[in-house]
Chain A
Amino acid sequence: MSSTIKSPWLIHYDASSCNGCDIEVLACLTPMYDVERFGIINTGNPKHADIFLVTGSVNERNISVVRQIYEQMLEPKVVIACGICACSGGIFKECYNTLGGVDVAIPVDVYAPGCAVRPEAIIDAVVCGLGVLEEKRAALAAGELPPAELPELPTAADKQLDGVSVRDAAAAELHAEIRDE
């Protein structure tokens, strides 16, 4: 076991969460659950962080912010999706402005489900993430860590509404209009 995983620092970003999961992430850091006793510190600086906790689903506006924070973090790094919104889009999946879970923007290592995610589940996910962090660290030391594969960022036009993408629906509407004329 290396020193990296004995005191992992984390950064938290609220993509488009309803706050429910955010306050549970904060609750983990405060006296009741107190993850600071494990050496975990919440930082605001991506360059300092080993673990990236994301709550909430991504939308057109914040998808690039999520990506930027991820890219600024140094290897080895682990991404944890907190809450069902971050895992898949959850209850807001069908909303016009929700592109999906965090994994459409960046690779996710651990999924912590729940709505709102319980602090126990977050701690569990972080412990799970530490294993991944250790693996990545060893691979990095051996020079075998492949560069992360970043998916292409979708835009609001790619959003599937009732089985058709917004772009296709708009194009079909335009065609129909031209045909009618």
Chain B
Amino acid sequence: MSQRTIIPFGPQHPVLPEPMHLDLVIEDERVVEAIPQVGFIHRGLEKLVTKKDYTQFVLVTERICGICSFGHSLGYSETVEALMGIEVPPRAEFLRVIWHELSRIHSHILWMGLLADGFGYENLFMQCWRLREQVLDILEATTGGRVILTACNVGGVEQDIENGELNGICQTLDGLRGEYNQLLKTFLKDKSVRHRLVGVGYLSEADARAAGTVGPFARASNIPEDIRSLGFGAYAALSGFEPITSKDGDGYARCEVRALEVLQSIDIIKELAEKIPDGAINQKVKGAPEDGSYAVSRLEQPRGECFYFAKGNGTKFLERFRIRTPTSQNIPGMVQTLQGCDLADVPLNVLTIDPCISCTER
């Protein structure tokens, strides 16, 4: 009979850029159970709505997570706009989506790099991060920040991107696509990569539904759910949008879904850059949310569906603001994939859901 042992994993661990703790119950080399513990990054920032007024709070929401920073400011702004009935100018809607998709590209390439590092392909990790710098350069040129952009505000966006600059961005992205396709070949065709990913961390469609997974994690288990297909904001102007899915439900499928989404995002940006209308980029906001009013909004973050709730109380300070983030939805699914896997595959399994702990704990 093999003996049971508990191995602590984290919070400080070489493969985890963020602290997270797992108690792994193992029998020989096999994981029988994984018990996650969270709370290392909890800051309690939702409560800050009582200290910062609703226009300032967008700066706090940007700092929920440095990777999906723009998405959070967008989600918050949309919620408050719904709360106060503010109409956002169409050009601002387009710019928001362009920045949001750029963030998705940088987030996915970053993740692919971390994954490569996780399965021990250092060179690929470096190449991914080198490529990602091109996207950061675009972000820096258009907003002034590399990771925290401060581009979105309640009522619109902070700064405009000139049409000529948009063309330049499209050209940069075309160049990036060429280089990216080479990386893609390694990720999807290389034998050693396939060997490490195929069959690892399998989650069936039924299990993925039962665990309530979202985002690329769910789409890799053949659940075609993507909030972007509902057509919020400028997504409605797209000629068509089909979520990318895969049937396999393993680590390879998750890699494939995210890898292809990068190309899809490039297409979205290029299409929107062509269709973008001229006009104002900002709508002046006045007054305060009414007492007792509340609003919700949903957004497709790089890691999946994110849900926002805001409640007003008649003053400039919101009564309550709540976010449900994609990783908190995905942790139960991740724990399931860990059961029965080899100890050596644990880091890879944790990585394939693309955990964002600072979103989860806020």
Interface residues of A (CB under 8 A from B): 13-24, 26-27, 30-32, 43-44, 56-57, 59, 61-62, 65, 69, 91-92, 94-98, 115-116, 118
Contact = CB atoms under 8 A, between A and B. Distances in A.
B64 interface: yes
Given A30-B129, A32-B133, A59-B43, 19 more contacts: A14-B19, A15-B19, A16-B358, A18-B64, A19-B358, A20-B147, A22-B17, A24-B146, A26-B129, A27-B136, A30-B113, A30-B133, A31-B130, A32-B129, A44-B12, A44-B14, A61-B42, A65-B11, A95-B43
A15 B19 CA distance: 8
A22 B66 contact: yes
Interface residues of B, number: 41
User: Taking each of B48, B66, B69, B358, which has the highest tally of chain A beta carbons within 10 Å of its own beta carbon?
Assistant: B66
B66 A23 contact: yes
B47 A116 contact: no
Contact of A16 (B41, B51, B66, B113): B41
A61 B358 contact: no
Contact of A19 (B11, B12, B356): B356
B355 to A, nearest CB: 11
B59 interface: yes
8 contacts: A14-B358, A17-B66, A18-B64, A20-B69, A21-B66, A30-B113, A32-B130, A116-B146
Main secondary structure of the interface of A (DSSP, over half): loop
Contact of A23 (B41, B60, B110, B125): B110
Contacts of A19: 17-18, 65-67, 356, 358
Contacts of B176: none
A130 B331 CA distance: 40
B14 A17 contact: no
Nearest to B356: A19
Contacts of B113: 30
Contact of B17 (A26, A32, A62, A97): A26
Contact of A98 (B43, B51, B126, B133): B43
Sort A-B residue pairs by CB-CB distance and give the 6 closest, nearest first: A20-B66, A44-B14, A30-B129, A19-B66, A97-B44, A31-B130
B13 interface: yes
Interface in B127-165: 127, 129-130, 133, 136, 145-148
B49 to A, nearest CB: 11
B40 interface: yes
Contacts of B42: 16, 59, 61, 97
B303 to A, nearest CB: 12
Nearest to B56: A91
B211 interface: no
A163 to B, nearest CB: 13
Contacts of B64: 18
B47 A96 contact: yes
B199 interface: no
A43 B156 CA distance: 43
A44 B14 CA distance: 5
A31 B356 CA distance: 24
Contact of B41 (A32, A56, A96): A56
A118 B133 CA distance: 13
Interface string B25-43: 0000000000000011111
A22 B12 CA distance: 13
B128 to A, nearest CB: 9
Contact of A62 (B11, B60, B65): B11
A24 B147 contact: yes
B129 A98 contact: no
Nearest to B37: A61
Nearest to B134: A32
Contact of B51 (A23, A43, A94): A94
Interface in B53-75: 59-60, 63-67, 69
